[in-house]
Structures are given as structure tokens and as C-alpha cells.
Chains A and B, each alone.
Chain A
Amino acid sequence: MSTSLRFALVGNPNCGKTSLFNRLTGARAKVANYPGVTVERRIGHLGGLARPAELLDLPGTYSLIVTSPDEQVARDVILGNMKGEASPDALVAVVDATNLRLGLRLVLELKELNRPLILALNQVDAARKQGITIDVAGLSQALGIPIVETVAVHSHGADALLKALADFAADQAQAEVVRTPVEHQTVEASYHQIESLMSQFVVRPDASLSWQDRLDNIIMHPVLGLVILFSILLVIFQAVFAWAAPVMDLIDAGTTALAEGAEGVLPEGVLQDFIVNGLIAGVGGVVVFLPQIVILFFFILILEDSGYLTRAAFLLDRPMRGIGLSGRSFIPLLSSFACAVPGIMATRTIQDPLERMIAIMVAPLMTCSARLPVYALIIAAFIPEQTVWGIFNLQGLTLFGLYMAGIISASLVAWMMRRRQTREEYPLLLELPTYRWPMAYHVLLGLRERTWIFLRRVGTIILALSIVLWFLASYPAAPEGATHAAIEYSFAGRLGIWMQPLFAPLGFTWEMCIALIPAMAAREVAVSALATVYAVGGESADAALGYAIGNSWGLPVALAYLAWFVYAPQCIATIAVVRRETNSRAATTFFTVYLFALAYFAAWATYQIAMLWY
């Protein structure tokens, strides 16, 4: 027996397990209002108990008879089938009080395992608001399980559960629980028992047409619903450009002032060059995009927390089936707009193995937030800021177009992958959660998290690569009597010039080729790499990178570069997660090769077609 006690949170999808987990362990795991946010088990430490204890957060499941990879994780942990891991000492069944029948059914199934079990009746505040009254003491006695009322989203809500866990730990220390065998019962018998429990211990008012149902009448309307969905997406892209501009100008002005200040203070020479062209140009070039990333995530977090996303999955199920995916792939693919890594992990909620593979293959075609700086830089340099049709901003529309290019390409790729095989039917059976007002707490926490992740990337990988790049772009120095710009004699310059013939059909300059390499580590670095290369190579250290590329690229080249980024440089982290989730070297190789090929072809075609006009 291990020295530390292990408790596992088990329950239906979206019943609030991760919120409880965060409250109890002080963790900051992602929570949202849709089933399947948690796809991997997570371990946190529980303080304040007589013995050291840890809490496991599991993916949600309706049943121990599982149908998808994320449910399999939950089952394996509960039954102790996880390699190298004993089964938990006690299970904490989390039940959504507003959705008792479904939760109690799983509880009855867990009870048959004959393991120590505590029931956490979650979201009791929401149940009370709906007029549901539950005789907790009576229900607890009838089930023979201790029940604790919790409100996971409030800080005081989890204390009672912690106390129950502490009591359990104290009891465990004294005596081994005597376990009596239990007979297995059918689903019919379970529901029979649940109905009897419900009639004895639960009073709920007659369901009337609530605002929730009225809202669903509009949002899930076959035509209106799709119009609303499309409008929401368009508004997000408009906002990313329109709302961010004032703050971005401020950051830009700050960076420029900093660079000028440094030039004034520091003596001319290597140190000044390093600070101004290496650090400030490289890092400042990326930091300026923070407001846009914050705005993008603000909208994503609100949508996640409201319960809207599964409605969108519902509306898109049939259209997505036309291309070989389904509504089940919607949320994993939408998550990929933030980053493909969690998006690819979220495909575990997909039951159909072939659909899951296709979703993994096309996930990086969803424009991740790391590409936003690259797009934004090039759009701002080449696309005039003008109003179209009275309300739209041309830059915002271009950005929307780039996102659409990714989505349409993903559709085509998915369709081609599915066409070769006949489709086996898998059920949809998706729960549509109750709408709820996005909680400021969740949204702010999420924004803080995303800001922190972004700034940490800037402070670590982007900073480090900027320094390396500055060094490579500055040394070796130009020989005496050099006829070309000094940077062309440096390591980076030589590498770029060496790569350039390969990318010549795409119209890429050697400066652009250099930026492609560090972009493999993190796509934003393409921006800081360009900033450093142009700053080092430039006559004067001009912080306005957009001005520099606007003068030297030409529109066809800029469009080709954008096309390249729509498809390729999937970062190394993405390739690694594909390898882990598919567990196949062949699939990973295919994934890498096809995306690079697509990128090369798309950039080539864009450049050649644009040249015809230009």
C-alpha cells in the first residue's frame, strides 16, 4: 500500500469535476462549459489531511462501458488498469444537482465496484435557483453513501468536501473497510431505483418554457443559428484588429522610445547593437501583438463558458459529416485556433478512430494564435486600412480570409482522406449543457493564464532565439572592402542565401528564408527574426518593421509568405503531440510531409498567380 491516499473525482462530463479539483488543490486547470474539457487524468496535492493525499481529476464519463479514448482514461484509472498505478483509495462521485438522474446512474454503477465512495452533490446553488429541493440526508441514507453539498465555482463550496475527505483519511487510518459483494443491475433496474429515489427525496417544479429553451429556439434554429454562428466569428476577427489598435500603437511607441533611449545612453558599438537590434527589435516585435491575442482569447473564453460551443457543434454536425468529420470534431478543431496542441489532445473525445485521425491531421490548418503576429504584421504592412461596405475593416476582412483559407483547406483535406474509405456509423449523442453567464472569474483567470503563457514564451524561447539570431546575423563581420551589406557575410545571411534558391519559385527573399528556421520552434519568432535581420542589416535601426518589409517585399511575395504560414511550419511541439496521440511513426511522417508539401505548393501558386496581376 502506498503511503499517500489517493482520491479520484469521477462523474458525468461537464458536472464540475475540474472546478472542484481546482478549488481543492489550488490548481489552475482549464474549465469550461462543454463536455470533454478534461481528456487526461490530472494529479494535485490535497493539504490539511491527517495523511498525505492526492486528488485525481478524470475525464468525464457517463458509464464504465466506454465509447471514446477520453472515457477509457477515466475507466482505466477507476479500475486500476493504468500501467504502474494502483486504483484510487476512494472515489469521489461528482453529481450535478441540476442533472441528478444522469449522475445518480453513474453513482449506482460505481457503487457496484464496492469501493469507498463519497458523493459530491455539485452546483447545489444552481439547483436551488431552479426550485429543486433535495433531501440530502434521506438520499444519503437510502444510497448508503456520504453526500456532501458543494458549489465548485465559489471558494467556500469545497470546504465541506475537504472535511469529508479528511474524515475518510482518519477512518482509513484506524480500520480497513469491510467490503461486501454487490450484484450487478441492468440500466432499467438502475433507472427504476433512481425514479423511486427521485420521488422520495427530490422535489422539482414543473418544467415551464424557460429563457434557456427560448434561447435555444433561436440559437439552434437551422437557418438563424448558422447566421448567428457566422456573425459571431466575423465580429471576433473585426474586434481583433479594431479594438487592439490603440493599445498596439502604445506598445509600439514604447518600444521605439526604448530603442531610441538605448541608442542615446549606450556608446555606439557591439553592446548598443545587441540591445537595440537583438533584444528590443526581436522581443518588442512580438510583444506588440499581446492585445490581439488577449482579445481573441477573451471571445474564445466567453464562448467556452457560456455553453454555446456544443450548440455550434450541433449546427455543424451535418455539414461536417459531408467532409468526413462530425460535430464531435468541432470543439477540438475550434481549440486549435488557440493552439493545435490542446486541440489535438481534445480529439480524444471523438469515438470514430478514423474521424479522430483526420481531425488530428487537419488540426494545424486551423490558424493558431502563434500565427496571428505573422499575419498581423504582414497585413498591416500591405493591406490599406480602409472601410469596406460601410462597416467592415479591410484588414479585418483579410485576416478573416486567411482563417477561412485554413478552414476550407482543412475541409478539402478531410474530404480527400475520408473518400477512400467507407464510413462506419458512430453515434453523436452529445449533451447540450445548460447555458450560463460567463463567469468573470473564469474569463479573467483564463486571460491571465494566456497572457502569462504568451509573455513567458516571449521571455524564454523568443528572447533566446532573438539573441541567437542577432549573433548569427552579426558574425562573422564583413571583410575589409566588402561590396555587399555586412549581414550577407554573417552566418544567418549565408544560410539564407544558401536556402534562397529552393524558395525562389515562391518569391521568398533570403531574409524571409532565415525567418523560416526559428519559426519551427515557435511561429511568432518569424516576426522577431525578421525584425532582427532587418534591424541588423538596415542602415538605421528602425523599429518599424512593417515599414521595412513594406518597402522591400512587394505584394505577391507578401501573399506567398502568408500562404506558406497558413499551411506549414507546424511547430515541433505539434509534431510531437501528433506522434504521441497517434502512436504511429508513419502517421507522424505523413502529417509532416503533407503539410510542408501543401505549404510549398500554396505559396508557389499564390506567388505565380499574384505575379500575373502585379
Chain B
Amino acid sequence: MNTAVSPAASLTESSALRLDQCAKGAEVRVVDLLAQPLFGEQDQHVSLRLKELGFLPGARLKVIGFGLLGRDPLAVQVNGTKFALRRTEAAKVSVELINPESR
């Protein structure tokens, strides 16, 4: 199973926009899934599960809400289904804005 994330694309060194940095209402497209050192050994499993749920390069996402403390977790809509993810998971998703005005 190909679950590996390219080593160059670790979230600590990436300068691209990440899902956890998006504002409410932002519509974005997934660019890549990054490594998240906080998840340790199971990071690949988290990447795989994210992909299985539809967070794949090219997928359109919409940020629909945040929790109270530290704007955590996030609610995101992907392919018409809504998911709650924490900032640590959202930071794994590198994205680009579809409509720059909506930010």
C-alpha cells in the first residue's frame, strides 16, 4: 500500500497554505498530504485514513466551522460529507484557495 508521504513535504518546512490556517467559509483544493511528527509512528495511518475519507490531492474542501478554544477542532466539508478534525490533522493537509475573495 502506498501511504508514504514524500520526505520533502513535511509540514514544518512547507511554506504553502495549510487547512488549519484557513478561515471559516474558505473553499480550497487539496494539494498534498504532509507528514505530522506529532502522530509519531501512526502518522502514515492518519494519512491513509484522511485519504480514504476523501482528503486527496485535487479534492475540494470547505471550512464550515471551528470549536471555541483555540479554534479547535475544525469542521470541513468534503464531497458533500462533513467531518470534524483537529488542528493537528488539518495541518497535514496542504491546500490552495479556489476563490481568493472568500478568504
Contact = CB atoms under 8 A, between A and B. Distances in A.
Contacts of B69: 318-319, 322
B84 A310 contact: yes
B44 to A, nearest CB: 10
B84 A102 contact: no
A270 interface: no
B56 A191 contact: yes
B42 to A, nearest CB: 8
B91 to A, nearest CB: 11
Contacts of A431: 53, 81-84
Contact of A425 (B38, B49, B85): B38
B79 interface: yes
A611 interface: no
B65 A220 contact: yes
Interface stretch (A161-169, A221-229, A379-387, A585-593): A221-229
A315 B39 contact: no
Interface stretch (A23-31, A61-69, A553-561): A61-69
Contact of B50 (A191, A223, A426, A429): A429
Interface stretch (A182-190, A251-259, A364-372, A474-482): A182-190
B64 interface: yes
B88 to A, nearest CB: 6
Contacts, number: 126
Interface stretch (B15-23, B70-78, B95-103): B70-78
Interface residues of A, number: 43
A313 interface: yes
Given A220-B75, A317-B67, A424 B49 contact: no
Contacts of A102: 53-54, 79, 81
Interface in A209-255: 213, 216-217, 220-223, 225-226
A428 interface: yes
A187 B80 CA distance: 19
Interface string B16-41: 00000000000000000000101110
B8 interface: no
Interface string A421-436: 0001111111110000
Contacts of A428: 73, 84-86, 89
A222 B74 CA distance: 11
A425 B65 CA distance: 22
B78 to A, nearest CB: 9
Contacts of A186: 1-2
A607 interface: no
A101 interface: yes
Contact of B1 (A184, A220, A226): A184
Given A427-B49, A427-B88, A429-B49, A188 B67 contact: no
A429 B89 CA distance: 8
A177 interface: no
A225 B67 CA distance: 9
Contacts of B86: 317, 427-428
A259 B79 CA distance: 64
**By DSSP majority rule, is chain B's interface helix, strand, loop, or mixed?**
mixed
A222 B53 contact: no
A444 to B, nearest CB: 29
A582 interface: no
A314 interface: yes
Given A313-B84, A314-B84, A101 B79 contact: yes
User: How big is the B interface, by class?
Assistant: 35 or more
A221 B72 contact: no
Interface string A303-319: 00000001001110111
A425 B38 CA distance: 6
B40 A99 contact: no
Given A187-B56, A314-B73, A427-B39, A327 B84 contact: yes
A6 interface: no
A178 interface: no
B72 A317 contact: yes
B1 A314 contact: no
A63 B65 contact: no
A207 interface: yes
A105 interface: yes
Given A187-B52, A188-B56, A223 B84 contact: no
Nearest to A207: B80
Contacts of A63: 48-49, 52
Contacts of B68: 222-223, 225-226, 315, 318-319
Interface in A189-212: 191, 204, 207
Contacts of A427: 39, 46, 49, 85-86, 88-89
Given A186-B1, A317-B86, A428-B89, A65 B45 contact: yes
A63 B53 CA distance: 9
Contacts of B38: 425
A318 B65 contact: no
A191 B65 CA distance: 26
B73 A217 contact: no
A150 B68 CA distance: 40
Contacts of B66: 222
B45 A67 contact: yes
A99 B67 contact: no
Contacts of B67: 222, 314-315, 317-318
Contact of A99 (B52, B56, B80): B80
Interface of A: 62-63, 65, 67, 98-99, 101-102, 105, 184, 186-188, 191, 204, 207, 213, 216-217, 220-223, 225-226, 310, 313-315, 317-319, 322, 327, 424-432
29 contacts: A62-B49, A63-B48, A98-B80, A99-B80, A101-B80, A101-B81, A102-B54, A186-B2, A187-B52, A188-B57, A191-B56, A207-B80, A216-B75, A216-B82, A217-B65, A220-B65, A223-B68, A314-B65, A315-B68, A318-B68, A322-B69, A425-B36, A425-B39, A429-B50, A430-B84, A430-B85, A431-B83, A432-B83, A432-B84
The list of the 6 closest CB pairs from A to B, nearest first, reads A222-B68, A432-B82, A220-B65, A187-B51, A314-B84, A430-B84
Given A188-B51, A432-B83, 5 more contacts: A221-B65, A222-B66, A223-B68, A314-B73, A317-B72
